[in-house]
Amino acid sequence: MYTLLSGLVRYMLKKDEYNILILGLDNAGKTTLLEHTKIKFTSGYTGKPFHKITATIGLNIGKISAMGVELLFWDLGGQDELQSLWDKYYSECHGIVYVVDSLDENRVDDSRLAFEKMITNEHLIGVPLLFLCNKQDMQGCLSVNQIREAFSDSATKMGKRDCSVRGVSALHGQGIEDAIVWLTQAVVKNNETRPPINKDD
Ligand code: G3D
Ligand code: MG
């Protein structure tokens, strides 16, 4: 009886889980974004000091609960040699966050090339995309419109998918909450095509 009841409680409390990839060039702010996302969505979590975030070798993983589901974030290293590992994660991901460093004008085109290679991958067809122009707190950064312009060639290669382009500051947390809420709604909306993990267990 106890086993039956505890199994029922476990079943009722179980949340659908979605894999979210955080991609972008190194130094774009991916790990900072993940840290601020955890702070915004985890009550009582105050995070580690941002200056202690070091370059990601390999990957960081973080989980949050939002709007009745769980999001498991995979923050993958963005260095050239690590980009070749991104596609190993595509077939099992439900949503993509692509982070651009709005301060690094010199590497915007490198970022566009990495983005186009990623977004045209057949394993990502239809997967919702949250495109973040990060570091908008910094004076002299590229505006969201300037980054849109720099990525305008990519627009035709995106295929049919939900997409939101936003300016944020991962460091100060500006725009993060709304952006993650949007992404959560988008992956849930897409769940016929990409069912969550554990849905039918
Ligand atoms: P990555 O994981 O994409 O490689 P990180 O990037 O999260 O490690 O961030 C790289 C650097 O950018 C860090 O600075 C971090 O503090 C800074 N950064 C990240 N997001 C923002 C932002 O929104 N605004 C500003 N001003 N800086 C940001 P350091 O100096 O530690 O290398
Ligand atoms: Mg990192």
Among the atoms of ligand 1, which is closest to the Cα of residue 24? 3
Alpha-carbon radius of gyration of the chain: 17
- Domain membership flag for residue 195: no
The residue contributing the CA closest to ligand 1 atom 5 is: 29
Distance in Å, CA 192 to ligand 1 centroid: 35
Confidence label for 106 from pLDDT (cuts 50, 70 and 90): very high
Quickly list H helices, 49-107. 80-83
Domains identified in the chain, total number: 1
Residue 201 pLDDT: 53
The whole-angstrom separation of Cα 170 and Cα 137 is 9
Out of 50-54, 55-59, 81-85, 90-94, give the one with best mean pLDDT.
90-94
d(CA 102, CA 134): 6
Q: Is residue 14 part of a domain?
A: no
129 inside domain = yes
Average pLDDT over residues 23-28: 96
Q: Closest-lying ligand to the alpha carbon of 101?
A: 1
CATH number at residue 125: 3.40.50.300
Mean pLDDT value across the chain = 91
Average pLDDT over residues 158-184: 97
Candidates 25, 27, 37, 83: which one to mutate for ligand 1, based on the most atoms within 8 Å of Cβ? 27
pLDDT of residue 83 exceeding 90: no
Q: How far apart are CA 162 and CA 56, in angstroms?
A: 28
Residue 98 covered by a domain: yes
Opening angle at CA 30, ends 103 and 114, nearest 5 = 75
Nearest CA to ligand 1 atom 24: 135
The 3-state DSSP class for residue 188 equals helix
Q: Would residue 143 count as lying in a domain?
A: yes
Enclosing domain of residue 43: 19-189
Catalytic residues, by residue number, are 79
Q: Is 94 in the pocket of ligand 1 (CB under 6 A)?
A: no
Confidence label for 55 from pLDDT (cuts 50, 70 and 90): confident
What's the pTM?
Answer: 0.92
Coil, strand or helix: which one is 173?
Answer: coil
User: Is there a domain that residue 35 lies in?
Assistant: yes
- Within a domain: 89: yes
Closest residue to atom 9 of ligand 1, CA basis? 29
In angstroms, what is the span from residue 22 Cα to ligand 2's centroid? 10
Q: Is 87 exposed, middle or buried (0-12, 13-18, 19+ CB in 10 A)?
A: middle
Please tell me the distance from the alpha carbon of residue 166 to that of residue 134, in angstroms, as a whole number.
8
Task: Kindly tell me the sign of the dihedral angle through the C-alpha atoms of 159, 143, 62, 185.
Answer: negative
Residue 45: band (very low, low, confident or very high) from pLDDT cuts 50, 70, 90: confident
Is 1 a residue whose pLDDT tops 80?
Answer: no
Residue 8 forms part of a structural domain: no
Q: Among residues 28, 136, 122, 38, which one has the least CA distance to residue 77? A: 28
Longest dimension (CA), the chain: 65
